[in-house]
Amino acid sequence: MTPFPKAAKRTVVGLVVVAAALTAFGTAPTAAAGRGRAAAPAVRTGSAEALSEPARPINRLRALFGSENRTMPTQRRVVALTFNAAWDVEGVDTTLDVLRRYHVPATFFLTGDFADRHPAAARAIAAAGYGIGNHSYSHPHFETLRPGERAAEVLRADHAIRTATGTTPLPFFRFPYGDTTPQEIGEVNALGFADIEWTTDTNGYRGPRGGMSVRKVVQRALDALRPGEIIQMHVGSDGQSTVLDADALPQLVEAIRAHGYDIVDLRGILDPTQKTAAQ
């Protein structure tokens, strides 16, 4: 991996990109990326009202700042599916096909390196209308980096995702490995991103070699089932012959619904009136 240039000029350019994104999103001067403008897919979100709670501050993004957000702020029986993309594209087509067939929304957290290496896959996700978040550029352990290096990881990924997808990504950042500290969350917030983690990881990325199976993937998600659950899955196999999260997705969707839960769009935490439900 080529190190991110440290020249001041590149840093300024990155900050300008974020400032421009803020204008599109319409938030206060410290916020960064805006909501994606791609057409939403025909997804079933349990209606746009599924995440509607009593009146909240107008700036819902800022309401997420300062927190490690591992659930959606709702008491309704809804969950959100999220997929990390950092390795290969083995499960992308299957995942998109299942989401389309079941009319299910999802959010994808891409690394900038993934967007650079697999621009066609990144474009396909964006073209299908799914929300896209930032998962750093090279997926490092953030505690090993200096503040400036952490900022560079976020900004470089933001630029790579915009370039690959041609869309404005969500102002959502997911830390590599889910490792966060209050200081690092504050740094990400200062760049205009809310930290969005997960309630549970299916561990499908470990694959059969790591002792996982389709049944175990589904069960891990169900074991953590609660209002506002955020499920983390992956679209890559990390060199294995099967992508368990993609293979398990149909059973997972059916099991969630069988338990009386709806699958909603994570973007609803920013705008519960957003029209992403199938008409």
Task: Taking residues 138-145, report their average pLDDT.
Answer: 98
Average confidence score pLDDT of the chain: 83
Rounded CA separation 279/271 (Å) = 18
Percent of the chain with pLDDT over 90: 74
pLDDT for residue 13: 38
pLDDT for residue 158: 98
Q: pLDDT per residue over 38-69, tens digit each?
A: 333 333 333 333 343 433 434 899 999 999 99
Q: How many CB atoms lie within 10 A of CB 64?
A: 20
Beta pairing partners, 84: 109, 234
Per-residue confidence band for 240, with pLDDT thresholds at 50, 70 and 90 = confident
The percent helix, strand, coil of the chain (3-state, each to 5) is 45, 15, 45
Alpha helices in the chain (DSSP H): 8-25, 60-63, 92-101, 112-117, 119-127, 147-165, 182-190, 214-223, 244-258
Question: How buried is 252 (Cβ within 10 angstroms: 0-12 exposed, 13-18 middle, 19+ buried)?
Answer: buried
pLDDT for residue 241: 79
Percent of the chain with pLDDT over 70: 77
- Asked whether the predicted pLDDT for residue 33 surpasses 90, the reply is no
Closest of 223, 257, 202, 224 to residue 83, by C-alpha: 202
Task: Taking residues 127-131, report their average pLDDT.
Answer: 98
- Give one word for 235, left, alpha or beta, with left for phi > 0 and alpha for psi -120 to 50: alpha
pLDDT for residue 182: 98
Q: Give φ, ψ of 69 to 5 degrees.
A: -85, 105
Of the listed ranges 38-47, 81-90, 97-106, 143-152, the one predicted with least confidence: 38-47
CB neighbours of 184 closer than 8 A, spacing ≥ 6?
142, 143, 150, 175
Per-residue confidence band for 239, with pLDDT thresholds at 50, 70 and 90 = confident
Q: pLDDT per residue over 179-222, tens digit each?
A: 999 999 999 999 999 999 999 999 999 999 999 999 999 999 99
pLDDT for residue 272: 72
- Asked whether the predicted pLDDT for residue 274 surpasses 50, the reply is yes
Question: How buried is 51 (Cβ within 10 angstroms: 0-12 exposed, 13-18 middle, 19+ buried)?
Answer: buried
The residue written with tokens 């550029």 in the block is 137
Which tokens hold the place of 25?
A: 């999103």
Three-state secondary structure call for residue 259: coil
Rounded CA separation 142/139 (Å) = 8
Q: pLDDT per residue over 153-176, tens digit each?
A: 999 999 999 999 999 999 999 999
Rounded CA separation 207/154 (Å) = 28
